[in-house]
């Protein structure tokens, strides 16, 4: 089991820049997961130096929510989740209640234009000229998500793919799921090629490395995809989005949000 400590020291009454940000991640036995979460917390601290940020995990990793929430005092809980599915609707609120932590709970990350920007960044890292309309028009993208038993979460992922294709002018976009019923990467790659895409890029719609991204990478290789982007990871857009959600939750709770550092 991976054991971590909060990425920033927890002060009893939050930081100079408002209540602390309690980042709640799912957790994984894969140590790359916690390393990615730590990197995101460092980016949040760099964007908002006066803000205390700490991490708690639902499963597999330490510290858990009861270990952290009681030491933070005033805080806003921000889930490190892309869609509002079971973890966001049930697991995190239940864990906070069980810990006796009556904290404002921010919304999940998606949807947001910043997620599309992060996808662009990761795809550009493969060598694709994402700034070229001609190159985008020749390239079909596969948005490879974890998948969910919640139909609304899968619908949200499909909406992200449609928005990404429409706003960027990709040759096409398909959604696949790594852990749920539905389209798989080889089917999506074949569909995009049949629709005329000269190049196909597989883009994991996942936040950290682990079993599912590895499964997606293997499927992309087997399917003959031309490009494989890395996970969203500690992209700067994700750190900014975490702060957006934090500020929104503060405002909803009745406290004025502070400005995001440039």
Mean pLDDT across the stretch 241-253? 97
Give residue 2's pLDDT band: very low, low, confident or very high (50, 70, 90). Answer: very low
Phi, psi (deg, nearest 5) at residue 2: -80, 130
Mean pLDDT across the stretch 45-74? 92
Phi, psi (deg, nearest 5) at residue 48: -135, 75
- State the pLDDT at residue 70: 79
Mean pLDDT across the stretch 209-232? 97
- State the pLDDT at residue 236: 98
Alpha carbons 192 and 223: distance in angstroms, whole number: 12
Q: Coil, strand or helix: which one is 163?
A: helix
H helix count then E strand count, the chain: 10, 7
Calculate the alpha carbon distances from 124 to 135, 150, 167, 203 in Å: 11, 31, 16, 11
Alpha carbons 140 and 94: distance in angstroms, whole number: 40
Give residue 17's pLDDT band: very low, low, confident or very high (50, 70, 90). Answer: low
Contacting residues for 97 by C-beta, under 8 A, at least 6 apart: none
Mean pLDDT across the stretch 215-229? 98
Question: Which pair of structure tokens corresponds to residue 246?
Answer: 């934090």
Residue written as tokens 């080889």? 186
Mean pLDDT across the stretch 212-240? 98
Q: End-to-end CA distance of the chain, in Å?
A: 37
What percent of the chain is helix, strand and coil (3-state, nearest 5)? 45, 15, 40
Mean pLDDT across the stretch 28-35? 95
- 153 vs 242, higher pLDDT: 242
Question: Which pair of structure tokens corresponds to residue 248?
Answer: 């929104």
- State the pLDDT at residue 104: 95
10 Å CB burial of residue 97 (0-12, 13-18, 19+) is exposed
Where along the chain do the CATH 3.40.50.1400 domains lie?
Answer: 20-109+235-252, 126-228
- State the pLDDT at residue 71: 86
Give residue 256's pLDDT band: very low, low, confident or very high (50, 70, 90). Answer: very low
Mean per-residue pLDDT of the chain:
90
Task: Report whether 204 contacts 237 (CB < 8 A).
Answer: no
What CATH number should be reported for the domain whose range is 126-228? 3.40.50.1400
What CATH number should be reported for the domain whose range is 20-109+235-252? 3.40.50.1400
């Amino acid at each position: 089991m991976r054991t971590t400590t909060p990425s920033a020291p927890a002060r009893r009454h939050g930081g100079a820049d408002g209540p602390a940000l309690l980042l709640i991640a799912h957790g994984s036995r894969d140590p790359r997961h916690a390393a990615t979460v730590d990197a995101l917390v460092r980016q949040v601290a760099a964007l908002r130096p006066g803000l205390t940020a700490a991490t708690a995990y639902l499963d597999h990793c330490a510290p858990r929510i009861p270990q952290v929430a009681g030491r933070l005092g005033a805080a806003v809980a921000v889930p490190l989740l892309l869609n509002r599915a079971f973890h966001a609707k049930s697991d995190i609120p239940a864990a906070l209640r069980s810990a006796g932590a009556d904290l404002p709970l921010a919304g999940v990350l998606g949807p947001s234009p910043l997620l599309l920007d992060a996808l662009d960044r990761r795809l550009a890292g493969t060598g694709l000229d994402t700034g070229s309309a001609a190159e985008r028009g020749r390239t079909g993208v596969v948005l490879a998500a974890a998948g969910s038993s919640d139909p609304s979460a899968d619908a949200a992922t499909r909406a992200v793919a449609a928005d990404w294709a429409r706003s960027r002018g990709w040759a096409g976009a398909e959604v696949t799921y790594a852990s749920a019923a539905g389209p798989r990467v080889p089917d999506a790659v074949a569909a995009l090629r049949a629709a005329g895409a000269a190049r196909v890029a597989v883009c994991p719609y996942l936040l950290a490395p682990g079993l599912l991204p590895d499964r997606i990478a293997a499927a992309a290789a087997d399917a003959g995809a031309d490009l494989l982007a890395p996970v969203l990871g500690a992209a700067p857009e994700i750190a900014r989005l975490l702060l957006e959600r934090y500020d929104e939750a503060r405002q909803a709770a009745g406290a004025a949000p502070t400005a995001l550092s440039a």
